[in-house]
A and B are shown apart, each in its own frame.
Chain A
Amino acid sequence: MSELIAFLEPDRSVIARRAAIIADLADLVPASSLITDARELVPFDTDAFVSYRRMPLAVVLPETTTEVAAVLKYCNRNGIPVVPRGAGTSLSGGAIPQEDAIVIGVSKMNRILEVDLPNRCARVQAGVTNISISQTVEADGFFYAPDPSSQLACTIGGNIGMNSGGAHCLKYGVTTNNLLGVKMVMFDGSIVEIGGKALDAPGYDLLGLVCGSEGQLGIVTEATVRLIARPEGARPVLFGFPSSVAAGACVTDIIGAGIIPVAIEFMDKPAIEICEAFAQAGYPMDVEALLIVEVEGSDAEMDAMLGRIIEIARTHGVKTIRESQSATEAALIWKGRKSAFGATGRIADYICMDGTVPLGQLSHVLEKTSEIVARYGLRVANVFHAGDGNMHPLILFDANDPDESRKAEMAGNDILKLCVDAGGCLTGEHGVGIEKRDLMRHQYTDADLAQQMRVRAAFDPKWILNPSKVFPLDGRNGAYADETGETAGKTAA
Chain B
Amino acid sequence: MQTNFTAEQLADPGVAMSEKILRKCVHCGFCTATCPTYVTLGNELDSPRGRIYLIKDMLENGRPADEQVVTHIDRCLSCLSCVTTCPSGVDYMHLVDHARIHIEQTYRRPLMDRLTRRMLALVLPYPARLRASLHLARLGRPFAPLFRTVPGLKPVAAMLDLAPASVPAASPVSRPGNHAAAAPKRGRVAILSGCAQPVLKPGINEATIRLLNRIGVEVVVPEGEGCCGSLVHHMGREPDALDAARKNIDAWTREIDAGGLDAIIITASGCGTTIKDYGHMLREDPAYADKAARVSALAKDVIEYLASIDLPDPVNGSGLVVAYHSACSMQHGQKITTAPKTLLKGAGFVVKDPPEGHLCCGSAGVYNILQPEIALALRDRKVRNIELTRPEVIATGNIGCITQIAQGTGIPILHTVELLDWAYGGDRPEGLPARATREQRAVQPS
- Assembly CA distance A50 to B52 (angstroms): 14
Q: Which of B3, B43, B68 contacts A39 (CB 8 A)?
A: B68
Find out whether the CB atom of B30 lies under 8 angstroms from the CB atom of A39: no
Q: Which of A105, A152, A345 contacts B88 (CB 8 A)?
A: A345
Q: Which of B26, B34, B57, B69 contacts A152 (CB 8 A)?
A: B34
CB-CB contacts below 8 Å: A145-169 with B:
150, 152-154
Q: Mark B57-98, 1 if CB is under 8 A from A, else 0.
A: 110000000101100100000000000011111100000000
- Assembly CA distance A346 to B30 (angstroms): 15
Find out whether the CB atom of A346 lies under 8 angstroms from the CB atom of B88: yes
List of B residues within 8 angstroms of A203 by Cβ: none
Find out whether the CB atom of B53 lies under 8 angstroms from the CB atom of A107: no
B145 in the interface, Cβ–Cβ < 8 Å?
no
Find out whether the CB atom of A110 lies under 8 angstroms from the CB atom of B42: yes
Q: Mark B34-49, 1 if CB is under 8 A from A, else 0.
A: 1000110111110001
Find out whether the CB atom of A346 lies under 8 angstroms from the CB atom of B24: yes
Find out whether the CB atom of B30 lies under 8 angstroms from the CB atom of A61: no
A interface bracket (residues with beta carbon within 8 Å of B): 35 or more
List of A residues within 8 angstroms of B72 by Cβ: 40
List of A residues within 8 angstroms of B34 by Cβ: 152
Q: Which of B27, B42, B45 contacts A47 (CB 8 A)?
A: B27
A39-B57, A50-B1, A400-B3 known; A343 vs B88 contact (CB < 8 Å): yes
B33 in the interface, Cβ–Cβ < 8 Å?
yes
- Nearest CB to that of B1 among chain A residues? A50
A107-B43, A129-B33, A342-B87 known; A48 vs B27 contact (CB < 8 Å): yes
- Nearest CB to that of A106 among chain B residues? B42
A84 in the interface, Cβ–Cβ < 8 Å?
no
B50 in the interface, Cβ–Cβ < 8 Å?
yes
Most interface-central of B33, B41, B90 (chain A CB within 10 A): B33
Find out whether the CB atom of A349 lies under 8 angstroms from the CB atom of B2: yes
Would you give the shortest CB distance from B91 to chain A, in whole angstroms? 11
- Assembly CA distance A37 to B72 (angstroms): 13
Find out whether the CB atom of B53 lies under 8 angstroms from the CB atom of A89: no
- Assembly CA distance A419 to B161 (angstroms): 63
Find out whether the CB atom of B29 lies under 8 angstroms from the CB atom of A88: yes
Q: Mark A186-203, 1 if CB is under 8 A from B, else 0.
A: 000000000000000000
- Assembly CA distance A32 to B40 (angstroms): 13
Find out whether the CB atom of B26 lies under 8 angstroms from the CB atom of A40: no
- Assembly CA distance A129 to B29 (angstroms): 12
Find out whether the CB atom of A339 lies under 8 angstroms from the CB atom of B87: yes
Q: Which of B31, B32, B68 contacts A40 (CB 8 A)?
A: B68
Find out whether the CB atom of A35 lies under 8 angstroms from the CB atom of B45: yes
Main secondary structure of the interface of A (DSSP, over half): loop
B281 in the interface, Cβ–Cβ < 8 Å?
no
Find out whether the CB atom of A61 lies under 8 angstroms from the CB atom of B54: no
Find out whether the CB atom of A345 lies under 8 angstroms from the CB atom of B87: yes
Most interface-central of A32, A47, A48, A405 (chain B CB within 10 A): A48
Find out whether the CB atom of B69 lies under 8 angstroms from the CB atom of A43: no
B23 in the interface, Cβ–Cβ < 8 Å?
yes
B347 in the interface, Cβ–Cβ < 8 Å?
no
A37-B68, A342-B88, A349-B2 known; A107 vs B44 contact (CB < 8 Å): yes
A39-B68, A342-B86, A346-B88 known; A48 vs B29 contact (CB < 8 Å): yes
List of A residues within 8 angstroms of B69 by Cβ: 39
A48-B29, A129-B33, A346-B24 known; A152 vs B85 contact (CB < 8 Å): yes
B7 in the interface, Cβ–Cβ < 8 Å?
no
- Assembly CA distance A131 to B38 (angstroms): 16
A345-B25, A345-B87 known; A87 vs B32 contact (CB < 8 Å): yes
Find out whether the CB atom of A44 lies under 8 angstroms from the CB atom of B29: no
- Assembly CA distance A294 to B24 (angstroms): 31
Find out whether the CB atom of A278 lies under 8 angstroms from the CB atom of B87: yes
A65 in the interface, Cβ–Cβ < 8 Å?
no
Find out whether the CB atom of A43 lies under 8 angstroms from the CB atom of B28: no
CB-CB contacts below 8 Å: A32-67 with B:
32, 35, 37, 39-40, 42-44, 46-48, 50-51, 61
Q: Which of A152, A342, A344 contacts B33 (CB 8 A)?
A: A152
A108 in the interface, Cβ–Cβ < 8 Å?
yes
Find out whether the CB atom of B45 lies under 8 angstroms from the CB atom of A50: no
- Nearest CB to that of B51 among chain A residues? A43
A399 in the interface, Cβ–Cβ < 8 Å?
yes
Find out whether the CB atom of A50 lies under 8 angstroms from the CB atom of B24: no
- Assembly CA distance A40 to B30 (angstroms): 20
- Nearest CB to that of B32 among chain A residues? A153
Find out whether the CB atom of A50 lies under 8 angstroms from the CB atom of B87: no
List of A residues within 8 angstroms of B88 by Cβ: 342-346
A239 in the interface, Cβ–Cβ < 8 Å?
no
A51-B2, A350-B26 known; A278 vs B89 contact (CB < 8 Å): yes
List of B residues within 8 angstroms of A107 by Cβ: 38, 42-44
Would you give the shortest CB distance from B71 to chain A, in whole angstroms? 9
What are some 16 contacts across the A-B interface (CB < 8 A)? A42-B54, A44-B44, A88-B29, A107-B44, A108-B42, A110-B39, A152-B34, A278-B89, A339-B30, A341-B28, A341-B87, A342-B26, A342-B28, A345-B88, A346-B24, A405-B2
B positions within 8 Å CB-CB of A:
1-3, 23-34, 38-39, 41-45, 49-50, 53-54, 57-58, 66, 68-69, 72, 85-90
Q: Give me the 4 closest cross-chain CB pairs, A-B, nearest first.
A: A342-B87, A345-B88, A108-B42, A339-B87
Given contacts A87-B29, A341-B87, 17 further A-B contacts (CB under 8 A): A39-B58, A39-B68, A40-B45, A40-B54, A40-B72, A42-B53, A43-B54, A44-B44, A105-B44, A107-B43, A108-B42, A127-B42, A343-B87, A343-B89, A345-B88, A346-B87, A400-B2
